[in-house]
Structure 1
Amino acid sequence: MSRLVLASSSRYRRQLLDRLEISYQWAAPDIDESPRPGEDAITLAHRLALSKAQAISADYPDHLIIGSDQLALFDGDVLGKPGDFDTACANLRRFSGRRVSFMTGLALIDTGAACHRVVHDIYHVQFRDLSDEEIESYVSRDQPYDSAGSFRMEGLGIALFENFEGDDPNTLIGLPLIKLCELLREAGVNPLTGRQGSW
């Protein structure tokens, strides 16, 4: 079995990780994603990414475990998953014609060596001016209730935007692959050579 494990049930994160052509397993973590009082965005993104990896670590005693979590940042608010139609529509109405930032926390735990690294990446999007008809039609069709920002970049969500800004567009989908490759190389796993080792 592969030593690499993705702590996520997201098929979009699995599709991204598949691009690295590294053998891996995946498992769904069960954590409370509620922010803590006074917790800033970076602290929250780091904590949730690490918590996801830690949630399954007992089942994988000699593995490298990837955890990742995404937040939307807008007008001083930290937004998670909308959860329902009305909240998703309300979010997109707020975002219409505005710039929104997305922060994705990324954790890699080496359970064999009992060490970990946590980083984050930020990506920015400029939304088009959206009509209520466009917003409601989009949310009905894509149902982005479990996506921070109330859209799915992988689907029809691309039609919501004017432009992007950032180092790694995969961050917007929820798994910053450039930073992940850096962490994997530090841990002795090189996607280009297939070489696997440990920290």
Structure 2
Amino acid sequence: MDFIVCYPEKYKEIICGLDPEVLVCHNALGKAKEVGEKYKGLIIIGCDTIVVFNNEIFGKPLTPDNANAMLTKLSGNYHTVISGLAVIDIQKNRKLVGYDKTEVKFKDVSEKEINDYVASGEPLDKAGAYGIQGSGGVFVKSIKGCFSNVVGLPKELLKKFLEELTN
């Protein structure tokens, strides 16, 4: 099976004004629809991930200072990673949209560790300012739920959706 990775060029993610689960589904579907306009006849996958801590939504940090603030809040605490997933089969005019949640516990992270990590540039394009699959993984003490969801693509949900679309 061949894959094309394509990022939406015009879609603007929303980061507030909706419940977190609705927000990630809305963004995932919006991204998939935009890409679907360009690649007709294919199955399109859209995804969006956020971090929720104390009812505050953390998307991608806009600046290093913003990344530092997010990581400082997450240090020593639990948070929830929510990924919305949209799978569209344009030929069959079918779409499936849903989300997955994973609880993550951070270890106590020192100010130096946060500063060094932010200086690496890695957290600037990651929801919640860390990548569990990269250097930010050292901050994670434990997870309850799907690891790939924290990476940003809930593989178990994707498999379920693809099976539904092909049956």
- TM-score scaled by length of structure 1: 0.80
Q: Is the 8 A contact 1:70 1:148 kept in 2?
A: yes
User: For 1:131 and 1:61, how far apart are their aligned partners in 2?
Assistant: 49
Provide the secondary structure at the position in 1 that maps to 2:98. strand
Max radius of gyration: which structure?
1
Structure 1 partner of 2:15 = 35
Residue 118 of structure 2 corresponds to residue 139 of structure 1: yes
Residue 156 of structure 2 corresponds to residue 175 of structure 1: no
Structure 2: runs of 5 or more not aligned? none
Structure 2 partner of 1:159 = 138
Deviation at 1:143, TM superposition (A): 2.7
Q: Is the 8 A contact 1:142 1:155 kept in 2?
A: no
Deviation at 1:56, TM superposition (A): 1.4
Residue deviations 1:64-85, cap 9 Å, x none?
A: 1000000100101111100221
- TM-score scaled by length of structure 2: 0.94
Structure 2 partner of 1:121 = 100
Q: Percent identity?
A: 31
Residue 39 of structure 2 corresponds to residue 87 of structure 1: no
Compared CA separation, residues 181 and 150, structure 1 to 2 (3 A): same
Aligned length: 166
User: For 1:93 and 1:57, how far apart are their aligned partners in 2?
Assistant: 38
User: For 1:160 and 1:59, how far apart are their aligned partners in 2?
Assistant: 39
Please identify which structure carries the higher helix content.
Answer: 2
Q: Is the 8 A contact 1:46 1:118 kept in 2?
A: yes
Structure 2 partner of 1:186 = 164
